[in-house]
Structure 1
Amino acid sequence: MNTIKHVMMVAFAAAIVFWSGGRADAQDTCNGRFVNPISDICWDCLFPLTVGAFTVVPGSHPDTENFASPICLCPMAAPPFIRIGVAIGFWEPVRLADVAKDPWCFVNIGGLTISPGFNIGYKGIGGPNGGGNQSSEYFVHWYAYPLLYWLELLADAACVEQASFDVMYVSELDPLWNDDELSFLIHPEAAIFANPIAQAACAADCAAVSTTGRNFPGMFWCAGCHGSVYPFNGNIPAEVTRIQGAALAAERMTYKLHRQLLAWRTSGPSAICQKQLAPIWPRDQYRYQLVNPTAHTAGPGTCPRAGTATPVYESGRAFPMQGEDIGFLIWRKRTCCAL
């Protein structure tokens, strides 16, 4: 994982050196702004805060399964070999995601467009700027954004993501992101779900997440009302609105990172002592808050789960005919044995 990260960071640094403000043949202008770490955050999305199965601070959003007991025991490599703690659960803002129509458009760092100096990441982009069931292509950039660690809002630092702001993944450098056939190499099970019955079943997931705020259990191949999570790339065959298509691209990137063992399960009783590898994405541990072009910090549908119908929260927050790109703040559930 470190090797991949270093290669991407070197490429990103080289691209900055060759910054030229974008390509003349791009269909859209790169739009975006820096995310304000205070005013652009939905702080209500931090909750509910739990100790064991007991809710200490309630929240307006559905929660995931928590550790049953308020007391937890975790193994240690050195004496006394057992660590006793308090089982807490909370939601943590840990990642930012650019979802751009044009390659090399970094939405959440001010709408910066760079030229890498080589012809990588460029290909035809289908469909107009609007929706209307048009095919579209999106490029995704994934950033480390451990806000609780920076602001020191939790006493036990071991329970929060400890990192600095960093560009973790750039889809333009990944050949699997641009090609449906190549992406099949990391998700061969897609052949099982590429049939009308499996796809029609996603309607149940859409109904569940839109009415209860919870995804239908076990239907990992679905992204609710957004469509199929397969293939793991930014080719959206039936985009209805730009935010719907962008949300699906962000959800596909989430699953892709799990499949490549670059993302972890951090929620549930089994993750109380340490994060776990999860090649099948635990979609219930993620929330996607819209932060670009307009931050959605309050009101109905803030921080929705994967696949939530977008009309609930997208009205008046994006203007597709202006070619705006989309940015999300990714919230992740954390279950932890705190000291």
Structure 2
Amino acid sequence: MGLSLLGQGAFAQETGGLPSTCNGNFVNPISDICWDCLFPLSVGSIPVVPSRHPDTRNPSFPICLCPISAPPFVRPGIAIGFWEPARLVDVSKDPWCFVNIGGLNISPGFDIGHKTTTYEDGSAHEGQYFVHWYIYPLLYWLELLADFACVENASFDIAYVSELDPLWQDDELSMLINPEAAVFANPIAQAACAADCVAVTTTGQNVPGLFWCAGCHGSIYPFNGNLGTDTTRIQGAALAAERMTYKLHRQLIAWRTSGPEAICQKQIAPIWPREQYRYQLVNPIPHVSGPGTCPRAGTATIVYESGRTIPAVGEDVGFLVWRKRNCCAL
């Protein structure tokens, strides 16, 4: 049996005899985007367009030099820093639910992704999420800053589907790419994450060095969708999206694009540079203004959801991932 598209909106899919639904909306590239999240825009260390959102580290000088292969073997430019809407993320408890493309539910024609994971005592995980990662170069797609060399030149595409990845569904298999999880699975390391939770929620900045923490959302390890802590709908979805971000860095699919070291070209970063990411809620309700827009990883969801009424339908959430970009522009 080939792929069967069941349509858009809310769907019924038989999984183990129980119906499941998929809810979502197409992301409007104009009205559903928090365009204030593009800022601050900086030249060197100077914020040309300031913002209430905290920034990352920028180069000290406005003039930059990048090596090239032809004479004169160096290219001068202007050190630019800005935030780019670069990726979309689906998070759902239903497999094959593509939230950000209209709530599209796909039946693959084979039994993959439909799996229940339990603890040794027989109890189920509190949260088990599936994640899809889209390439979403919105600035290039809308031909905004089209002549700006720093904008990612790509097309819309689905880059990663967790249902096809056995490491995403199994705690033991995921240890193959995150063996260091055993080092941080202790009360002292996890207690340090409380400080990260307070810092990122109150100041918008994570505590430097605590890469094993996802602030108020829980532990960033292991790199899969089996969450031991799933207190709210948005908290669980945000943690799943953050784990996928780290996982893609570990698998060398995502790269460092921020900081002076990345000004000439993207850098390999197997330890995720969490400070270069913001996660804007776009499904089920776009969060485009007010407090808590585009929060950093681990920000308390009480800030994220402040003043917003989230429909009590399904467990399907979509995020727009904003990525900090430093580059040497001509």
Shift of 1:124: 2.3
Q: Give the number of equivalent residue pairs.
A: 317
Residues 13 and 21 of structure 2 are in contact (CA less than 8 Å); yes or no, is this contact kept in structure 1? no
SS at 2:14 equivalent: coil
Q: Secondary structure at the match of 1:40?
A: coil
- The normalised TM-score by structure 1 is 0.91
CA offsets 1:149-199 (integer angstroms, 9 cap, x no match): 112222543201111110000000000000000001101011100001101
Which residue identity lines up with residue 69 of structure 1 in the other structure?
F
Tell me, in whole angstroms, the C-alpha distance in 2 between the residues paired with 1:27 and 1:102. Answer: 10
Over the residues paired in the alignment, what is the CA RMSD in angstroms? 1.5
| Unmatched 5+ stretches in structure 1 | 1-13, 127-133
Structure 2 matches for 1:1-339, cutoff 5 A?
17-20=3-6, 23-25=13-15, 26=18, 28-124=20-116, 135-154=126-145, 156-315=147-306, 316-320=308-312, 322-339=313-330
Post-superposition CA distance 1:15-69 (Å, at most 9, x none): 6x32246522355410001000000000000000000001100011000000110
- From the superposition, tell whether residues 89 and 159 of structure 1 become closer, same or farther in structure 2 (CA, over 3 Å): same
After TM superposition, give the deviation of residue 123 of structure 1 in Å: 1.1
Mean Cα deviation higher: 175-184 or 156-165: 156-165
Deviations 1:86-125 (A, max 9, x none): 0000000000000011000000000000011111111127
Partner amino acid, structure 1, of 2:263: I
Q: Is the 8 A contact 1:251 1:306 kept in 2?
A: yes
Question: Which stretches in structure 2 are left out of the alignment for 5+ residues?
Answer: 119-124
SS at 1:287's partner residue? strand
CA distance, structure 1, for counterparts of residue 113 and residue 70 of structure 2: 48
Shift of 1:319: 2.9
- 1:262–1:22 CA distance, 2 compared to 1 (3 A): farther
Aligned identity (percent) is 74
User: Using the alignment, how far apart are the partners of 2:155 and 2:216 within structure 1?
Assistant: 34
Distance 1:97 1:82, change over 3 A: same
Counterpart amino acid of residue 168 in structure 1: A
